[in-house]
Amino acid sequence: MFSDRFDQLVQALRVLPSVGPKSAQRMALHLMLKNREGAYQLAHALTEAGNSLHACSICHSLTEDDVCEICAAHDRDAELLCVVESPADVMAIEQSGSFRGKYHVLGGHLSPLDGIGPEEIGIPYLLQRLTQGEIKEVILATNATVEGQATAHYLLEASKHLPITMTRIAQGVPQGGELEYVDSHTLSQAVYNRMRMK
């Protein structure tokens, strides 16, 4: 509308979840007209994060190092592994203060209709991690969506031959809900009251 560069900024802002054309346009106008310094800070932070953050070599959460702080921590229970869909889920559980084990981030959930199978979300790597003998219990904390439930069921079936206890977070998390939007108290209760599946 104003210029090609303004249109490029609007299109760039639309990559964010739940940001449509009108919201992106409002954000772009705000940054250009009312908070130019904030725009520069945002651009710098995005560049720095894009150059520095990557997946942890063990759990696949976000980190600046080869191994994230949680995987490297010696005071966390290495026998207890919580499987989640995204780093946002790790953040949500950590904020609840209810979990002292380690994590594995799948990076999504099974969705055959979208061409997302076990290999696309690294399930073979997770199963290999489970065969190393250190992990005694796996908490399946995938989202309470149809896809999240299907992913948890697949993992339960795929690991039946392993001497590992499989649990699922309790139903404090609403059906159809996503972990990053659940309040800390509800999430804490869900982790504490997890159910045995195997």
Residue ranges of domains in the chain, CATH in brackets: 4-52 (1.10.8.420), 62-196 (3.40.1360.10)
Report the distance separating Cα 156 and Cα 166, nearest Å.
7
Mean pLDDT estimate for the chain: 91
Tens of pLDDT, residues 92-109: 999 989 899 999 999 999
In the prediction, which pLDDT does 172 show?
67
In the prediction, which pLDDT does 99 show?
94
Name the pairing type of β-strands 54-55 and 62-63.
Answer: antiparallel
CA-CA-CA-CA torsion for 118, 102, 60, 180, nearest 10 degrees?
A: 80
Q: Over range 169-181, report the average pLDDT.
A: 77
Dihedral sign for Cα atoms in the order 168, 171, 177, 183: negative
* Distances 77 to 58, 61, 102, 141, 198 between C-alpha atoms, Å: 15, 17, 7, 17, 20
DSSP type of residue 113: G
Name the pairing type of β-strands 101-105 and 77-84.
Answer: parallel
- Find, among 83, 61, 69, the residue nearest to 179 by Cα: 83
pLDDT higher than threshold 80 for residue 13: yes
Q: Which residue has the higher pLDDT, 83 or 145?
A: 83
In the prediction, which pLDDT does 78 show?
94
